[in-house]
Amino acid sequence: MFELLKLLLRLFIRIIFSIRIVGKENIPKEGGYIAACNHQSYWDPVFMASVLKGKFAFMAKKELFRNRAFAWLITKFGAFPIERGKRDSGAIETAIERIKMGKVFIIYPEGTRSKDGKLGRGKSGVALIAGMAEAPILPMCISYRGKLRFRTRVTISIGEMIPHEELAVNPENSLELRNASRRIMEEIRLLKEAAEA
């Protein structure tokens, strides 16, 4: 069921948008890592799911699970609820568990969508999860000009994996968490600049 849904999703977005993929060779064949990307649109999880391999996991605000049909769909793609506005330790534990199960954990370090397309400041959540799960991070960037419309050109850029050992994050050290978050956002920024050059 999952693979069929994924195939239909891939075909659908290639009809709706003009998709260009950069760095396809950097996509791991298996999961067990974190995919960290910028966030501009509700389409972002769809774009990411269309290129990454394996099964996914991602946090979605609790309100999205109120509609049964939509909740069923996003759950099939690996979504689990999080309460926004506070540190949800249960959601963090679920994320770590899913990564250790070999899934690709999709996350947006900025924490919210950018309304003007500019990169925001990365929050420490992604570095915290990476440190606790001892997981590597795959930087990604989704780029396009203006608003998303039919046949908008969308570039999905995939960077090189950042090994867990390279980030060396101690989840209890706030300075290390901030430095790791800056490093992740810098990798995303470089992908964005290259795509828009």
Backbone region of residue 161 per phi and psi (left: phi > 0; alpha: psi in -120 to 50; beta: other values): beta
Mean pLDDT value of segment 68-80: 88
Q: What is the pLDDT of residues 102-150, one digit of tens each?
A: 999 999 999 888 988 889 999 988 999 999 999 999 999 999 998 999 9
pLDDT of 85 above 80: no
Query: CA nearest 91: which of 76, 105, 103?
Result: 105
Q: What is the mean pLDDT of residues 62-89?
A: 84
Considering the segment(s) 2-196 as one domain, its CATH architecture is 3-Layer(aba) Sandwich (3.40)
Specify the range with the lowest mean pLDDT, choosing from 4-13, 49-58, 150-159.
4-13
Query: Rounded mean pLDDT of the chain?
Result: 91
3-state secondary structure of 30: coil
pLDDT of 32 higher than 80: yes
Task: Kindly give, in sequence order, each residue whose CB lies less than 8 Å from that of residue 185, ignoring residues fewer than 6 positions away.
Answer: 109, 110, 119, 121, 122
For the whole prediction, is pTM greater than 0.85? yes
Contact 6, 48 (CB under 8 A): no
Task: Please tell me the predicted confidence (pLDDT) of residue 127.
Answer: 93
Residues belonging to the chain: 197
Please give the pLDDT value at position 112: 87
User: Mean pLDDT across the stretch 13-39?
Assistant: 96
- 104-141 in b/e form (b: 16+ CB < 10 A) is bbbbbbbeeeeeebebbebbbbbbbbbbbbebbbbbbb
Question: Quick one: pLDDT at residue 86?
Answer: 64
> Rounded CA gap, 75 and 81, in Å?
9
pLDDT value for 148? 93
Residue with the larger pLDDT of the pair 117 and 36? 36
